[in-house]
Every structure is written in structure tokens, then in C-alpha cells.
Copies of this chain bind each other. A is one copy, B any other.
Amino acid sequence: MALGDAILACLTERPMTGYELAKTFDSSIGFFWKADHQQIYRELSKLRDRGHIQGREVVQSGKPNKLVYTLTPEGRTALRHWAARPSTPASTKDDLLVRLHALDSIDIEPLRTDLMARLEHHRDRHANYERILKKRFPDGTAEGRLDLGNLLLLRLGARHEQMVADFCEEALEALSAMSGKATVVPLEDGKREKG
């Protein structure tokens, strides 16, 4: 019960169809929340059953008819109640961290390439955040409450990506410094283990 609330949160901005929501979850809110269209459509059905949203069919020519979903007053209330409950700090659950935890039992080469890919990935995202920040908040201040929320969000996102990117760089450097005194030679396919 959290994806549903994320969808409600999106619908506060404007009514949307499942298709639009799927795209939203691919850009703005999707920066920190992934969900594919199936998840979204399934969740939308549930929300409708609960009476939190209301679908209005819009007949289209040339395209399949679309279902525009709007928040109902019950939905707004539900969202506010959800938002009034203490939030649960999410755990990271990043594969990379698990790998670092078992660093001496895995092969370094794939790890390096992975770190490099991740470095690029996080740099891209950082640049993206900065780009949006400059476009939407050129002077770094927000007017309304909605704007403030989004500004804070973008700033956090930017900083996070920056930090992770820096971390990847640092990890790569540390691995390079260490690889001089390598303890285990990478093997082909686990024919030998060092135990």
C-alpha cells in the first residue's frame, strides 16, 4: 500500500489516464519510484474499487478510448490521512552494496565495469536533475507549496546522484590502488575456489 498512494499523489496535480501515469512514472516521480504500466493499471482498478478515484471515459477517434482518472473527495482524504502517518525510512537494497560486502569473494573485473556503468548512470541522472532545476527554478526559489515540494525533491535527487557518482569514482580508485597487490586471480568459471 504505497504505490496506490504515489498514484494518488500524482493525480493531485491533474487528472490523468493510466497511460499518462505510466509515462509520469517514467520521468518526474519515476526518478525515485519505478512502476511499469501493468502495475499502474492494476493499482488503478483497486483505487477505483475503493472509491478513491473516478474514471471518466473519453471517446477518441483514431485511438482507443481513454479513461481519465480523477481524485474523488474520498481519495483526497485518504491521501491526507496517509500523509499524516509517520513515514517509514526505506532501506536502500542496492545490489552494489551487497557485492562490496562480499568483496573478497567476487571477481573484481566485472565489478569495475559495473562501477563504471553506474558512475555514468548517476552522472547522467545528476545532469538531468540539474537541467530541470535550472529550467524550472532558475533563481533557486519556489513560489507556492507545490513548487516548494518539487524544488526540494529535485535538490535531494541531484545531491543523491552526485554523492553516489562520487562514491563510484572513489571505489574505482580504491580498487585500482588495491589491484596492485591482488590476492586472488580471477578464474574462468569457478573451477577453483580459494577455500
Interchain CB contact under 8 A, A156 and B80: no
Contact with B along A23-34 (1 / 0, CB 8 A): 000001110111
| Residue of A8, A87, A93 with highest tally of chain B CB at under 10 A | A87
Give the dominant DSSP class at A's interface: helix
Do residues A32 and B110 form an inter-chain contact, with CB atoms below 8 A? no
**Interface size classification for chain A:** 35 or more
Q: How far is the CA of A114 from the CA of B84 in the complex (A)?
A: 8
A193/B83 in contact, CB under 8 A: no
Q: Measured between alpha carbons, how far is A114 from B102 in the docked complex, in Å? A: 35
Asked, given contacts A76-B190, A163-B159, whether A89 binds B118 with beta carbons under 8 Å apart, the answer is yes
What 0/1 readout, one digit per residue, does chain A (152-185) give for beta carbons within 8 Å of chain B?
1101100110011001001100110010000110
CB-defined interface of A92-130 with B at 8 Å, one 1/0 digit per residue?
A: 111111111111111100110110011001100000000
Given contacts A93-B90, A174-B152, contact A29 B146 (CB under 8 A): no
For residue A149, CB closer than 8 A to chain B, the reply is yes
Contact A178 B145 (CB under 8 A): yes
Known: A83-B102, A89-B121; 18 extra A-B contacts, CB below 8 A, are A33-B97, A76-B195, A79-B102, A80-B107, A83-B99, A86-B114, A86-B117, A87-B96, A87-B118, A89-B94, A89-B118, A97-B156, A101-B150, A103-B145, A103-B146, A104-B145, A144-B183, A152-B170
A-B contact pairs, 25 of them (CB 8 A): A2-B95, A5-B98, A9-B98, A28-B101, A29-B101, A32-B93, A33-B93, A33-B98, A76-B105, A76-B193, A81-B190, A83-B99, A85-B110, A86-B114, A87-B114, A89-B118, A89-B121, A89-B122, A99-B149, A100-B150, A103-B145, A103-B149, A103-B150, A152-B171, A159-B163
